[in-house]
Amino acid sequence: MAFNRSFGTAAYTIRQKKSGGLLALPAVLWLVLFFLLPLAIVFFVSFMSRGPRGTIVFPLTLEHYNRIFDIFFPVIVDSVRIALVTTVICLLVGYPLAFFISTRKSRRAQQIALFLVILPFWTNFLVRTYAWRVLLGGDGPVNNLLLSLGLIETPLTLLNTEFAVLVGLVYGFLPFMVLPIYASIERFDFRLVEAAYDLGANDWHAFWRVVFPLTLPGVVAGCILVLIPSIGAFVTPDLLGGTEGLMIGNLIQTQFRGTGNWPLGSALSVVMMAMVSLGLIVYMRFGGQN
């Protein structure tokens, strides 16, 4: 019986491996065709020259990379900084929110709360960002409220600032922070907190030494999901940031529009991807182990 069973398992495993490979084929093909191949093209184009009327021509050149480090670098640094601040704010707001939702006793209350978090996705992102333009405008509701409360005397300049970009990014990406954290807190076994209390931990210690480390995978997933799209954001800074809130995504976007410069746009994308990947690798090698 024991023999049969282990034999059966082995056979099953082999079969599983084979069919697993076959099952993965569509996904692999998809990734190669629509991810790796385009990526390779972008990488290649980034070394080409810009021809007349924005065409892509030989010879190969490093000119675009030189130009990025001469001219574009401060914008890249600023974009990373804005994305980091966005991520931190999302974490500070999102963690307590996820905690609140996942600790509701009634399953129904949890579902409703989650539904509310996802609800904004039902409206197009562009429309919601335009709405912020109205809200933050000089004659918008925010300024009018502050004025009527007598808190300010002249309208504040909220729109076309870095502040507006942060508001838009935090607003847009908060659900991406809340959902993975919710998932990991929801799986968390709260008897461990009781055990911590029994061993003499206070609230603070129970949270930092027990709850937080065990929900860290959700936090990391959330941070990555917010940070990476924030760095490359272009709709939000375009509509809300004005000249002050310019991000690298805007500059990449304009290289591809009209008589743009595709090789330069590609090189900018490659530099961005390299920086993000490098950050993730460093994190996984050093930060991830703790």
Q: Report yes or no: 185 and 103 within 8 Å, Cβ to Cβ.
A: yes
x/- string (CB under 8 A) for another protein, residues 74-103?
xx--x-------------------------
If the CB atoms of residues 102 and 250 are measured against another protein, the closer one turns out to be 250
Q: What angle do CA 149, 155, 156 make, to 5 degrees?
A: 105
- Which of 4, 259, 289, 290: binder of another protein (CB under 8 A)? 259
The pair of structure tokens assigned to 201 is 């931990």
Q: Which of 1, 2, 4, 53 binds another protein (CB under 8 A)?
A: 53
Per-position x/- string for 133-162, each x denoting binding to another protein as judged by CB under 8 A, each - no binding:
xx--xxxx----------------x-xx--
Question: How many chain residues are in contact with another protein, going by CB under 8 A?
Answer: 30
Tokens of 47: 């070394």
In this structure, which amino acid lies at residue 258?
G
Query: Of these, 46, 86, 129, 261, which contacts another protein (CB under 8 A)?
Result: 261
> 49, 59 in Cβ contact below 8 A?
yes
Please choose, out of 9-17, 32-40, 68-76, 80-88, the segment that lies near another protein by the rule CB under 8 A: 68-76
Question: Can you tell me which of 46, 47, 48, 50 binds another protein, judged by CB under 8 A?
Answer: 50
**Residue 202 or residue 259: which is nearer to another protein going by CB?**
259
DSSP 56: E
3-state secondary structure of 49: strand
Rounded CA gap, 63 and 46, in Å? Answer: 9
Q: Residue from 24, 31, 71, 152 that binds another protein (CB under 8 A)?
A: 71
Q: If binding is defined by CB under 8 A, does position 238 make contact with another protein?
A: yes
> Which is closer to another protein, CB of 98 or CB of 248?
248
Does residue number 51 form part of the binding site for another protein (CB under 8 A)? yes
Q: Which two tokens stand for residue 20?
A: 């697993």
Q: Shortest Cβ distance from residue 214 to another protein (Å)?
A: 42
Write the DSSP symbol of residue 243: T
> Segment contacting another protein (CB under 8 A): 50-58, 108-116, 167-175, 281-289?
50-58
Between the CA of residue 32 and those of 35, 38, 125, 271, 278, what are the distances in Å? 6, 9, 29, 21, 22
Using CB under 8 A as the binding rule, whether residue 124 contacts another protein is answered as no
* Contact window for another protein (CB under 8 A) among 73-81, 109-117, 118-126, 204-212: 73-81
- Cα 129 from Cα 237, distance rounded (Å): 10
The answer to the question of residue 217 lying near another protein (CB under 8 A) is: no
Q: Token digits for 173?
A: 């990406």
Q: How far is the CB of 244 from another protein (least distance, A)?
A: 6
Q: Which residues of 171-210 are buried (b: 16+ CB within 10 A; e: fewer)?
A: bbbbbbbbbbbbbbbeebeeeebeebeeeebeeeebbeeb
Bridge-based pairing of strands 49-50 and 56-57 is antiparallel
Residue 260 is a binding residue for another protein (CB under 8 A): yes
242 binds another protein (CB under 8 A): yes
CA dist., res. 107 & res. 126, Å (int)? 33
Q: Are 244 and 28 in contact (CB under 8 A)?
A: no
Contact set with another protein (CB under 8 A): 50-53, 67, 71-72, 74-75, 78, 133-134, 137-140, 157, 159-160, 238, 242-244, 246, 250-251, 254, 259-261
